[in-house]
Structure 1
Amino acid sequence: MGMDDATWARHANPWSGWSRLTILPLLALAAWSRLWIGWWALAPLSAVLVWAWLNPRLFPPPHSTDNWMSRGVLGERVWLTRHDDPALAHHRPVVRALTALSTLGAIALLAGLALLDLTLTLAGLAVAMLGKLWLVDRMVWVHHDTAGGNVPPATGKADGNITS
């Protein structure tokens, strides 16, 4: 996604994090729409991909990161840059398991979309979303475990608030 410091700061806005959860269901709906609109389904698919890119850039940096979603996003950034840090080693097995859970859900979702099986599609979507939300919760822990819960230096001030 090519997210720089400013984009990560904007993505820490809880509106960005929560609205980003719409991407997987919208992708599923766009793929399913091929039944109704044929090749025109590429239009909603393209719109969802634009939304996925635009979302972390759309919202302003939050006035406070004192909320679950902002801390999850900040923890994700920490994880992406420091996942090999020995201080975070206790998170690795859980992150791997949750990534595997999300991946299994995504595979089931893709199979359901390919087979046009509504039950498999919805089950895969539910499992993938459960894994994603649980992973966000783990990233809140990662955020808490790094720098005493302060924002990583690259994203803002150490008091937990982000400024532009």
Structure 2
Amino acid sequence: MDALFRGIATFFRLDDTGWERHANPWSVWTRVAIWPALVLALWSIHWIGWWAALPLSLIALWAFINPRAFPPPASTRSWASRGVLGERIYLARKERPIPEHHRVAAQWLAGIGGAGTVVMLGGLVIASPSLFVAGAVTAFFAKMWFIDRMVWLFDDMARDHSVYAAWMR
């Protein structure tokens, strides 16, 4: 799981500048909006066939560009900004360990989100709208809960580590 998270951060070019730009609430909320668009585009395969590749390609392009599309936020006190900063801390947990309860919760939530995604894709393959939607909703809420957990992680770690506290402005 660690390799997956680090690979995603590398793929999206989340270096120090990238993380700072991604902490802009506009970046966070427009990324959140990607999920419903992706779900609709995936299901559109049943309506428009391979033409669904067009909206899927546009969504993939936006997902790639998004973390760098916005300037660094003036303030990082918002829930969305702190969630991104918490994800950054979570990914760096080998260099600076995090409390065990945050690690376990994050792994559970990632697993639930992954299971929801598998159910959603299974529903897509067998053309079951109920399975597809159930999986999509499960994956979405697991991700939102994961972000909320990352806010909690950031708040805890910023209280105890000056390097993280300095990220708050």
CA contact (8 A) 2:27 2:67 kept: yes
Partner of 1:27: 38
CA contact (8 A) 2:90 2:150 kept: yes
- Which of 58, 62, 79 lines up with 1:47 in the alignment? 58
Partner of 1:134: 145
Map 1:1-164 onto structure 2 (within 5 A).
Answer: 1-82=12-93, 85-148=96-159, 152=163, 158=166, 160-161=168-169
CA contact (8 A) 1:72 1:137 kept: yes
**Deviation per residue, 1:121-161 (Å, 9 max, x gap):** 111111101100110011011111213177856xxx81612
Q: Counterpart of 1:134 in structure 2: which amino acid?
A: W
CA contact (8 A) 2:90 2:98 kept: no
d(CA) in 1 for partners of 2:121 and 2:47?
A: 18
Q: Report the CA distance between 1:47 and its aligned residue.
A: 0.6
Percentage of pairs with the same residue: 46
- What residue ranges of structure 2 are gaps of 5+ in the alignment? 1-11
Structure of greater relative contact order (alpha carbons < 8 Å, 6+ residues apart): 1
- Going from structure 1 to structure 2, the CA distance change for 1:86 and 1:80 (only over 3 Å counts) comes to closer
CA contact (8 A) 1:74 1:151 kept: no
CA contact (8 A) 1:143 1:151 kept: no
- Going from structure 1 to structure 2, the CA distance change for 1:5 and 1:145 (only over 3 Å counts) comes to same
- Going from structure 1 to structure 2, the CA distance change for 1:146 and 1:32 (only over 3 Å counts) comes to same
Q: Counterpart of 1:66 in structure 2: which amino acid?
A: R
d(CA) in 1 for partners of 2:67 and 2:57?
A: 17
What number of residue pairs does the alignment pair up? 158
TM-score (norm 2): 0.85
- Going from structure 1 to structure 2, the CA distance change for 1:151 and 1:109 (only over 3 Å counts) comes to farther
- Going from structure 1 to structure 2, the CA distance change for 1:112 and 1:83 (only over 3 Å counts) comes to farther
Q: Report the CA distance between 1:2 and its aligned residue.
A: 2.1
